[in-house]
Amino acid sequence: RPEDLWAVHSQPVFPRPHRRDTSSWLAIQKITSRGEKIGLHHFKPIKPLGRGDTGSVHLVELKGTGELFAMKAMDKSVMLNRNKVHRACVEREIISLLDHPFLPSLYSSFQIPTHVCLITDFCPGGELFNLLDKQPLKFFKEESARFYAAEVVIVLEYLHCLGIIYRDLKPENILLQKDGHIVLTDFDLSFMTSSKSQVLKYPVPKRRRSRSQPLPTFIAEPSTQSNSFVGTEEYIAPEIITGAGHSSSIDWWALGILLYEMLYGRTPFRGKNRQKTFSNILNKELTFPSSIPVSLAARQLINALLNRDPSSRLGSRAGAAEIKQHPFFHGINWSLIRCTSPPPLEVPLQLIKKDTTNTKDVKWEDDGILVNSNDMDVF
């Protein structure tokens, strides 16, 4: 039955342990504790935040609470026509599992006749892509690039531990919280499988035990390969293009592309068209513009991440653990990074504010479609 395709979106959502006492969850639970089922009518539309190929994302307010959320609304007919129903269901399943300071929470999901909707965290800092673009030379200083890359490493480590290969890392999918820390979003291209965990023990030196002997390292990486052709073209790993099958190491390739873009203001393999870009990814030598001063450690890390052989790529053996140990990340306090302030930028982070001047032009129509007469033709 057609309605069964969307059944997962009508299932109740429960708070994860680390988020259940936040003001957002308390506001949601106040409604559900009265026996009400969260739906579109509980939210007041504020403004559109962006749009994708299957729908739009909107800033919404939970009525009577002042709490702001992001609502991702996906068009059912578009998803059916483009064979993306499964992707929407996987995304909903993945977000409902997440419980991490750099990942979104799912507060509710519901459907209306035309759309399925996910209610998640609103990130007032917007996209990392826009922050990068606003810098005078379109790139970050190394200290800032290191900070954002480190938080991405932590997120990917967590996802891989859950058996999730992210598969769509790019600056547009990294959102910024009001304190400047990241939130990785958009899981419709992600692949979910089981996770293989192991403890990596280092050989004991023949001499008497040194204080600096490395401790055993816990690693957990997704255990299954996928053959799907997915991703954003400038960030796609070579093994996806060749169809050789890919594992979680494609996320480490994308980290290398992201770090390059943050430091140099462009991606390394971009061509004049899709075919040329793919050809460059497979064949072009990686070069570093001498006009932009970047440390040797940063260039060596990028080089190790952009190894075309996935089995030799940094991260393929011990996942995030070996990336964290790279000299580029020296000085990063991995355990307490969420408690540190992001390094200052030449053009600082500007927060998206709730604009009350246009709310009269935005309304929910009877059929549940958001119409904004000023900004854009939504859906």
296-307 pLDDT tens trace: 999 999 999 999
Pair 133, 253 in one domain: yes
What proportions of the chain, in percent to the nearest 5, are helix, strand and coil? Answer: 35, 20, 45
271-298 tens-digit pLDDT? 999 999 999 999 999 999 999 999 999 9
CB 123 within 8 A of CB 97: no
d(CA 29, CA 287): 53
The secondary structure element, H or E, covering residue 147 is: helix 142-161
Residue 231's pLDDT is what? 73
Lowest-confidence region among 82-86, 125-129, 202-206: 202-206
Q: What confidence tier does 54 reach under pLDDT thresholds 50, 70, 90?
A: confident
What percent of the chain clears pLDDT 70, i.e. is strictly above it? Answer: 83
Residue 2's pLDDT is what? 60
Residue 218's pLDDT is what? 63
Q: Encoding tokens for residue 229?
A: 């052709």
Pair 113, 234 in one domain: no
Quick check: is 347 in a domain?
A: no
Q: Specify the amino acid at residue 225.
A: Q
Residue 4's pLDDT is what? 78
Pair 278, 145 in one domain: yes
Which CATH number characterizes residue 365's domain?
A: 3.30.200.20
What's the Cα-to-Cα distance from 169 to each of 143, 175, 278, 302, 356, rounded to whole Å? 20, 12, 17, 15, 33
Q: What are phi and psi of 236, to 5 degrees?
A: -70, 135
Pair 299, 172 in one domain: yes
What percent of the chain clears pLDDT 90, i.e. is strictly above it? Answer: 75
Quick check: is 252 in a domain?
A: yes
Pair 105, 135 in one domain: no
Residue 137's pLDDT is what? 96
Q: What confidence tier does 215 reach under pLDDT thresholds 50, 70, 90?
A: low
CB 5 within 8 A of CB 84: no
Quick check: is 96 in a domain?
A: yes
The answer to whether residue 361 is catalytic is no
Residue 245's pLDDT is what? 78
100-114 tens-digit pLDDT? 999 999 999 999 999
CB 22 within 8 A of CB 65: no
Quick check: is 63 in a domain?
A: yes
Pair 108, 239 in one domain: no
Was 284 annotated as part of a binding site? no
Residue 266's pLDDT is what? 97
The burial of 367, by beta-carbon neighbours within 10 Å (0-12 exposed, 13-18 middle, 19 or more buried), is given as exposed
Residue 360's pLDDT is what? 58
CB 258 within 8 A of CB 152: yes
Q: Specify the amino acid at residue 181.
A: H
Mean per-residue pLDDT for 29-34? 95
Residue 160's pLDDT is what? 94
Quick check: is 188 in a domain?
A: yes
- Give the contacts of 207 (CB within 8 A, at least 6 positions apart): none
d(CA 314, CA 304): 5
CA dihedral 325, 331, 335, 341 (to 10 degrees): -140
What's the Cα-to-Cα distance from 326 to each of 139, 143, 259, rounded to whole Å? 22, 15, 14
Pair 57, 136 in one domain: no
- Give the contacts of 247 (CB within 8 A, at least 6 positions apart): 165, 221, 222, 224, 225, 226, 310, 316
pLDDT beyond 90 at 17: yes
| Residue of 75, 121, 168, 188 marked active site | 168
Residue 172's pLDDT is what? 96
Pair 323, 175 in one domain: yes
Quick check: is 379 in a domain?
A: no
What's the Cα-to-Cα distance from 104 to each of 19, 22, 28, 219, 249, rounded to whole Å? 10, 13, 15, 23, 23
Pair 144, 64 in one domain: no
Q: Is 46 helix (H, G, I), strand (E, B) or coil?
A: strand
Domain count for the chain, please give it.
Answer: 2
Residue among 70, 99, 89, 95 at smallest CA distance from 10: 89
Q: What confidence tier does 201 reach under pLDDT thresholds 50, 70, 90?
A: low
Domain that holds residue 214: 128-339
Pair 295, 367 in one domain: no
Q: What are phi and psi of 184, to 5 degrees?
A: -85, 130
CB crowding 104-124: b at 16 or more within 10 Å, else e: bbbbbbbbbebbbbbbbbbbb
pLDDT beyond 50 at 374: no
Q: What confidence tier does 55 reach under pLDDT thresholds 50, 70, 90?
A: confident
Q: What is the mean pLDDT of the chain?
A: 88
Q: What confidence tier does 127 reach under pLDDT thresholds 50, 70, 90?
A: very high
Quick check: is 378 in a domain?
A: no
Quick check: is 345 in a domain?
A: no
Lowest-confidence region among 196-210, 242-256, 325-339: 196-210
Pair 68, 173 in one domain: no
71-80 tens-digit pLDDT? 999 999 999 9
Instruction: Look at the chain and count its residues.
Output: 379
Which CATH number characterizes residue 255's domain?
A: 1.10.510.10
Pair 181, 299 in one domain: yes
